[in-house]
Every structure is written in C-alpha cells, then in structure tokens.
C-alpha cells in the first residue's frame, strides 16, 4: 500500500476473515487515542490496575493488585507504550475497564466503533486479542487491519502536534507494532518484550 495515497499496490486474500490476535490491541489503542482527543483524559492521567487486569497471561507489563499491597498504576502515556511495544495484555484490560467500565462493555463499544469505521465484518470479544473459545469468534480482514494501523498513526500525529508530548519515537513504536501485529494474522506469534514502565502503587 502506498502510504501517501492509500493505493493498494499488491494484495493476496485481503478480504479473507482471520483472527486478529494483537491487532485487537491496535483497536484498543485507537479507542484510547479518541478518548484523549475528546479531552476525556490526558497523557498524564493515571490508570489503576484491577485484579482482573493483573491476572492476565503474558505478554504483560507485570502489574499487581491486592488488598494487602494495593494496586499498581501507570500513566496513559506509559499505557500507550506498553500496548504498542510490549503488547501487554494486562494494560489492554486496564485501558478497557477505564474506558468501558468492564472489558465486555468496552469490547462491545469497540465492535460498534469498528462498524462505524467501515469494518463491517469485524467483531471483538476482548481488549487484548487473547483466544477465548467461550466467546464469539473475533474476525478482521487484512485490508481493514492495514487501514486501522494507518488511522492509529494519524491519531498519534494529531495528538503530538496538539500537545507536543508524543515524539517520533512513539510514532515509530506504534508503526512497528502495526507491522508486527499484521504479520501475526498469519504467523500468530508475538515477540520482543520491552522493558517495564515505571509504576506506582496505591
């Protein structure tokens, strides 16, 4: 695809439905960016982990939540980096619970938003893309996955220009994540965890 014109130069089974894997996190990021653009939160807003988020399997940031020690929290900026670079499942759930109240409600909102964006056959069951045989299948096409990555990149540029808080490194990280997540449609593998972001506990 030509990044300047969005013209498709070469495609193969671009409209075949596949499981989205961590492309789901790209949609979670998109919802988070829209929340920032609406002014509902800033990059400095702190997100607090729940027990549900802390129980998520790898890849994860390693957030903890207990009655005795309290629950870890990170900033929205750290959450963006953890999702884009490390593909952190615990952070995906934390974002979902903040934006939707529950992960299931957020997933429904995410599916509805995807339909509004023209992803008519896409269905999300959770915020991370982890397999869940008890839920309806989550499907996305290659063509729409590439469109979604482009939309996320444009959101980063918009936010960075407006707030001067996200630099080229953040955009590059998400571009890399989009490429890796797209390959996961066929390879179904995620690699290269990033260093943990600093957290606070309350």
Please give the pLDDT value at position 10.
78
Confidence band for 187, pLDDT divided at 50, 70 and 90: very low
Domain hosting residue 111, numbered range: 17-188
The length of the chain is 202
Question: What are the pLDDT digits (tens) for 97-127?
Answer: 999 999 999 999 999 998 888 777 778 889 9
Which of the pair, 182 or 89, is modelled with greater confidence? 89
Confidence band for 94, pLDDT divided at 50, 70 and 90: very high
Domain membership flag for residue 97:
yes
Domain membership flag for residue 193:
no
Query: Is the bond preceding 59 in cis, omega lying within 30 degrees of 0?
Result: yes
Domain membership flag for residue 131:
yes
Domain membership flag for residue 31:
yes
Domain membership flag for residue 6:
no
- How far lies 194's CA from each of 9, 62, 168, 171, 197, in Å? 33, 12, 18, 16, 9
Q: What is the dihedral of CA 167, 173, 178, 183, to 10 degrees?
A: 160
Question: What are the pLDDT digits (tens) for 22-53?
Answer: 778 888 998 999 999 899 999 999 999 999 99
d(CA 87, CA 80): 10
Domain membership flag for residue 94:
yes
The mean pLDDT value of the chain amounts to 74
Number of domains in the chain: 1
CATH number for 47: 3.40.710.10
Domain membership flag for residue 136:
yes
Please give the pLDDT value at position 23.
77
User: Known catalytic residues?
Assistant: 22, 25, 87
């Amino acid at each position: 695809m030509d990044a300047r014109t969005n013209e498709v130069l070469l495609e193969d089974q671009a409209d075949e439905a596949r499981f989205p894997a961590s492309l789901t996190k790209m949609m979670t990021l998109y919802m988070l960016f829209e929340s920032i653009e609406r002014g509902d939160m800033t990059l400095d807003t702190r997100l607090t982990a729940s027990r549900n988020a802390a129980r998520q399997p790898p890849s994860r940031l390693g957030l903890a939540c207990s009655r005795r020690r309290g629950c870890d929290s990170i900033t929205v900026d750290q959450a963006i980096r953890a999702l884009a670079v490390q593909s952190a499942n615990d952070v995906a759930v934390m974002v979902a619970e903040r934006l939707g109240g529950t992960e299931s409600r957020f997933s429904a909102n995410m599916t509805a938003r995807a339909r509004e964006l023209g992803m008519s056959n896409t269905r999300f069951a959770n915020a991370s893309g982890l397999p869940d045989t008890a839920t309806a299948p989550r499907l996305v096409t290659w063509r729409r996955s590439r469109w979604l990555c482009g939309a996320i990149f444009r959101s980063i540029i918009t936010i960075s220009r407006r707030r001067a808080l996200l630099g080229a490194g953040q955009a590059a990280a998400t571009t890399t994540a989009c490429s890796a997540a797209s390959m996961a449609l066929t390879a179904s593998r995620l690699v290269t965890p990033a260093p943990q972001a600093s957290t606070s506990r309350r």
